[in-house]
Structure 1
């Protein structure tokens, strides 16, 4: 069973792309290949091999693995005891940060998933949303957060070194600055002055933690807020542009189309 979901323009922070469950046949191989979104598998039974980033792992029940965007991965079921697993595919501005809370990354793609029935149950609840007439995307996003929270909770807490705490504080200051001042003429240089770090160093920290530059995060946040305004208010495109920090409606429309895949007017007409 697998279900692919249409793009969700309202859930830019985190959105589900696909989910599924499968009893694999012996020697069932996926890859080598790359994806442009995150994918997490939770092994419910059986065994198999997972290869990513030049490393190989032998995995079984109570374990899971992460495939990050743009990274070549391959996985294969055991010939005698093929695995059964469930999975989710997702992406979003907050995806890398949430995975980081579980200690998951390209360098550390394996996690504990001892309560496999819990993850299987979430997949079942995702399937049940197919009968919903409205609000399905919100329910699915909630279940995605529930899945990720369980992954975070299941991992052994590690002491956080002082330098990591400082880094997290800097990232939080950037996010807070953007969320409070996106409607103004906000620049990366101004954000760096507010945080008190050199612009290039701060941007490198942010890129490492969030998976995107400060400027990309600012644009994405502005476009998300613009989408909310277009969907819920009668503001003109020009007024919407000014409300999210753009004096030039043409530049705003260009960035909106690049980010959202359609013009502001087209977006409003689809709501």
Structure 2
């Protein structure tokens, strides 16, 4: 569940940059969206709380002051934290130069997560879009102007959560992540990853801690459990089969790890997530933004 407010806009002609929708949401614990594919670029920026974002086999744990990009026709899934559910603003946009502007801010498919110290400004711009939503030329121009300001504020101070200053280090991380994605169903050890990319175990751990924020085995564990959660939602495989498919030879060990990861056993998660997906299927996100939040 979430308390949200969203506005959608239609455009007769394709322009360089066009606002398609915008909104604000205060979510409940474990509220999620997806797996889904969207037709436009969407940027979410977290006002408070925590959550998780999954895209292209990667998992990002995010909190206040961070944001994430959803690209057109790319399947994504995101979920609010169980204890500190996030509130966020979002803008959806398109246009002939939308991709170009995004790349210039430093956000891309390779680095879809960013941080910005201009959270209050970003929030102000989105609420201004919401407030000035009449079908008039003046409001349409104002909304487009706010969208440019929104991207400008991100460009001023954004940095990708995974972007590395050293090209060689970035290559090591990329190769290590690729190895994990291709071999997570096997009994992988840190030495296996280090040997594959031809560096020692200690340096590999240092790189992961520096650029991803966790040791290699923790990243592998999260990747496995994320895959398991996806399979529980989308397939009819038994829990034992899913455990084996995600690198766990012992179903009991898998069940304990999954419960720690999601706060509930695998079977309960499957039932809960499917009931939630069914209840939200085709449902338009709508709600109320407090009037005080719209004051600019």
Report the TM range for the smaller structure's normalisation: 0.5 to 0.7
Q: Does 1:3 align with 2:7?
A: yes
SS at the partner of 2:106?
A: coil
What's the CA shift for 1:119? Answer: 1.0
Partner of 1:18: 21
Equivalent residues in 2 for 1:1-271 (5 A)?
A: 1-9=5-13, 12-131=15-134, 133-155=136-158
- After TM superposition, give the deviation of residue 86 of structure 1 in Å: 0.1
Please provide the CA RMSD for this pair.
2.0
2:23 match: secondary structure: strand
Distance 1:111 1:122 in 2: 18
Asked whether the equivalents of residues 8 and 137 of structure 1 are also in contact (C-alpha less than 8 Å), the reply is no
Rounded Cα–Cα distance in structure 2 between residues aligned with 1:23 and 1:123: 15
Contact 1:8/1:15 (8 A) holds in 2:
no
Helix, strand or coil for the counterpart of 1:140? helix
8 Å CA contact 1:25–1:77 kept in 2: the answer is yes
Gaps of 5+ in 2: 168-296
Alpha-carbon distance, 1:102 to partner? 1.4
SS in 1 for 2:34: strand
Task: Report the Cα offset of residue 132 of structure 1.
Answer: 7.0
Tell me the CA shift for residue 134 of structure 1.
3.5
1:131: Cα distance to partner?
4.8
Conservation of the 8 A alpha-carbon contact between 1:47 and 1:77: yes
